[in-house]
Structure 1
Amino acid sequence: MTRIVLDAGHSYNTPGKRSPDGMREYAFNRAVCQAARKKLESQGIQTIMTHHDDRDIPLKERTNLANREKATLFISIHANAYGSGSWNDIHGIETYIHQENDPQSRSLAEAVHYSLIKETRRKDRGIKMADFHVLRETVMPAVLIECGFMTNREEKKLLASENYRILCGHTIAASILTFLGVKKTMYLVQTGAFSSIENAKKHAQDLKNAGFDAMITEK
């Protein structure tokens, strides 16, 4: 069974993990995980969250959970920071894997990273390697995603917005589905049946004017 571990980095009270004006990184991380979870589960993919409360989950506990549950993928979501904690101009998205000779993690990172760059239009800071515990100690393909800098005024505004959090979560989820080769389930909704073609055309145009796709078929 496919199981995706979604890891919201840090916790609500982790010291120092805040923007210069006080936004908590964990608030962003958790919201993105929740958005990704909702989209994945809508496509029949089982998800496991490393957090069920606000305590600071030890890194070993996170990786032990993923390994014990024989997870298919491990996705750790973060917001970045640079310098001593004051505002600066460093910005963009970067994604980490543990080592270059892990082709599955590399492919996963490419799927997620380049989709995020395309959808968010943020600066591409590249796919990088790091000896992070959550990447080193997991036995499945694993990536750590930094979705923007809390220490950049423009990106902090994005990181604090519900729309950006949902965009990141949905983009990450869609990238996972693509990586796994899962085709999205689509649903068709019929809103009317008419004996008059003119009435059908009018109804279809009303739907288009409201922002919905519409087409007319014969039965």
Structure 2
Amino acid sequence: MIKVVALVLFFITTLHALSNLEILKRADSFSKSSSKSNQFRAYNDYKNLYLRALMNNDKKLKYSALKGIVYSGHKLHIDVKQYEKEYKQAIHVTHSSKKRHQTKKVIKIQSSHKLSAVRFKNGRLILRFDKNLKKNQVNYFTLHDRKKGVYKYIFDIHASMLKSSTTLRQEGIDKIKLAQYNPNTLRLVIQNRTPLSVRFTKKAKELSIKVANKSKKAKTAIASKKYKKAPPKRLDRDKIIVIDAGHGGKDPGAIGYRKYREKVVVLSIARELRNILRSRGYKVYMTREGDHFIKLRNRTKYANKKNADIFISIHANAVGRKDAKKVCGLECYFLSTSRSSRAKKVAAMENSADLDEMDYYGKQSFLNTINSHNIVASNKLAIDLQRGALSTLKSRYKNVKDAGVREGPFWVLVGAQMPSVLVEVGFITHPDEARKLVNRKYQKTMAKGLANGVERYFINN
């Protein structure tokens, strides 16, 4: 048994070094084996390919991975109903797509730039991209429909990211809409019944647009609202987010390097994340604002009561002294009945504070009743948070390790009626990582990255 576990861990660590095609070939070979250990390896490979497919929006790889998960899962007597349902849907999409391709060749041109965030700042609409904007990348023109009495100010940007249109709001402007005009062009349309003054600048990765209404009536209305001190409407952000700072009160969480306490570190990061998201126009609540103990089941209960759109639980990871200098990295977990050894170890630490009264067999039975309705959405949220945090941290700090997006049986996520994720911001037991985790600048950078991940998730979904 020890040899089997060691082999599985070996395959997981070498997975990133192999291409998708190599992993798929290896998994197909293992799945045909009569050995249960090989079949388990195949199942694990297919699951990792499935996560890669979701991250890269690779439909072909997703189809192959789902097919493998269902096949090997049945062999191992693993419950794969959710994957089976997805696989059947994928079959239908694949067949429809094949019929279309038989009559017409489709050439896909993918833009090199992607939209990463949209927000209003100091009266300007800021569009931020993942790369520096080029000289001729933004095409601006205006239209005036005299019959309808409408003025349109249009920006065509050689970029992509949005899967669906987004409507924005600003005082004194009738309509601002952002949508993917075609696979290669992102279109921003600013529409109004009276003429507008529109100015824009491109700097590095940002397109900054200043829009002002020339109409005296509009200026008077805006001025009167400012006088009343009404909060300015930012983006069309009616989303509700609940942030959960792990542990608290009598439960310190992990005690790490130089006796740093998990409950203190995660509360600081949670507060920074709350402040950033509120400044971007979201409604944000926290399960705990101070050093208080809250039962695990009451945390998601609070999120449900607030009708939250997403739930983010923030934690810091830990290992024993023997491995303290070796193990580090940022991880994001979403809820599932996963029984992987790594998920079990991490979940055991996070679950220990509140559910000791339930025995092992009781826990396993309860896990089998988990509603998998939000698992796919939670997986996507975890991927976006991981990407956001890593890209922001790596832009300022060296040796930031990606420990991956994983699934596991975390009790703090059980009962959430919305997509929910547990973020392990790093290992508080690792000397270098622990020093960063208690640093205010690092905490703010981490929070900014997570906030960018939240925006990416809402843009994509």
CA 1:86–1:92 in structure 2 vs 1: closer, same or farther (change >3 Å)?
closer
Which structure 2 residue ranges, 5 or more long, are not aligned? Answer: 1-237, 339-371, 395-399
Q: Distance in 2 between matches of 1:16 and 1:145?
A: 14
Q: Which residue in the other structure is 1:140 paired with? A: 418
Contact 1:85/1:151, CA 8 A, preserved across alignment? no
Instruction: Specify which of 241, 246, 259 is matched with residue 9 of structure 1.
Output: 246
TM-score, normalised by the number of residues in structure 1: 0.77
Q: Secondary structure at the match of 1:11?
A: coil
Q: Within 5 Å, which residues of 2 pair with 1:78-117?
A: 78-83=315-320, 87-99=324-336, 102-117=375-390
Structure of greater relative contact order (alpha carbons < 8 Å, 6+ residues apart): 1
CA 1:154–1:12 in structure 2 vs 1: closer, same or farther (change >3 Å)?
farther
Q: Percent identity?
A: 31
What is the Cα deviation at residue 15 of structure 1?
Answer: 4.4
Q: Which residue in the other structure is 2:458 paired with? A: 180
Instruction: Specify which of 70, 76, 79 is matched with residue 307 of structure 2.
Output: 70
What is the Cα deviation at residue 14 of structure 1?
Answer: 1.6
Q: Secondary structure at the match of 2:436?
A: helix
Letter in 2 for 1:46: K
What is the Cα deviation at residue 29 of structure 1?
Answer: 0.6
Q: Distance in 1 between matches of 2:439 and 2:258?
A: 15
Question: Are 1:44 and 2:281 counterparts?
Answer: yes
Q: Secondary structure at the match of 1:129?
A: strand
What is the Cα deviation at residue 154 of structure 1?
Answer: 0.6
Please give the root-mean-square deviation of Cα atoms over the aligned residues, in Å.
2.0
Instruction: Specify which of 51, 56, 60 is matched with residue 297 of structure 2.
Output: 60
How big is each residue's C-alpha offset from its partner over 1:55-95, in whole Å with a ceiling of 9 and x where there is no partner? 21111111110111111000011111012588331011111
What is the Cα deviation at residue 16 of structure 1?
Answer: 5.2
**Could you say which structure has the higher strand fraction?**
2
Q: Distance in 2 between matches of 1:179 and 1:39?
A: 16
CA 1:85–1:2 in structure 2 vs 1: closer, same or farther (change >3 Å)?
farther
What is the Cα deviation at residue 53 of structure 1?
Answer: 3.0
Q: Distance in 2 between matches of 1:113 and 1:62?
A: 22
CA 1:12–1:157 in structure 2 vs 1: closer, same or farther (change >3 Å)?
farther
Q: Distance in 2 between matches of 1:178 and 1:120?
A: 16
Q: Distance in 2 between matches of 1:120 and 1:136?
A: 29
Contact 2:257/2:430, CA 8 A, preserved across alignment? no
Q: Secondary structure at the match of 1:47?
A: strand
Letter in 2 for 1:96: Y
Contact 2:253/2:263, CA 8 A, preserved across alignment? no
Q: Secondary structure at the match of 1:140?
A: coil
Aligned residues: 182
Contact 1:59/1:133, CA 8 A, preserved across alignment? yes
Contact 2:318/2:428, CA 8 A, preserved across alignment? yes
Q: Distance in 2 between matches of 1:2 and 1:84?
A: 42
Q: Distance in 2 between matches of 1:52 and 1:39?
A: 16
